[in-house]
Amino acid sequence: MSAPLPSANLLHKQLKEMQTDRDMASISVGLVNDNIYEWEVMLMISDDCEFYGGGFFRARLSFPRLYPHDPPTMKFETPLWHPNIYSDGRVCISILHAPGDDEYGYESASERWLPVRTPESILISVISLLSSPNDESPANLEAAKQWREDPTGFKKRTRKCVRDSLEV
């Protein structure tokens, strides 16, 4: 039997820390099929979040074997209408982009993935992104357009996402 990869040991430690941290009450994490590289996440969004407050959104964090050198990916399983979330649920946020310089010059290397980031810091950043979308670099062009041009319609659509998240 081979020894676990260093990434597996680190992820076990980070999972345990998140599961026992009382300050992380709005985030629940667990493993998918006992696979340390696949985490099921539940984000319980505070009522003070204008768009998604009160929602319970399921997502999955998928970690590469070379974690923390390479970033994980995050995908919402609960449908979300958001400028920075693709229609298939994939999250588009700078901190999950491959390390190094952005070939298009939009992001600095310090905004992209760094091995010091943790699952906790990723999830906190995603919660922040739900409150403050980045419409300059949208993954969902329709949502970004509505965010800019029809804030009332955008809020109505996000509130439907919240209602739908509570029915699952």
Query: Cis bond leading into 68, ω under 30°?
Result: yes
Give yes or no: 49 in active site: no
C-alpha–C-alpha distance, residues 60 and 73, integer Å: 8
The H or E element that residue 27 is part of is strand 27-32
C-alpha–C-alpha distance, residues 153 and 50, integer Å: 13
Q: Which of 92, 126, 127, 139 is catalytic?
A: 92
Contact (Cβ atoms closer than 8 angstroms) between residue 127 and residue 25: no
By annotation, the residues acting in catalysis are 92
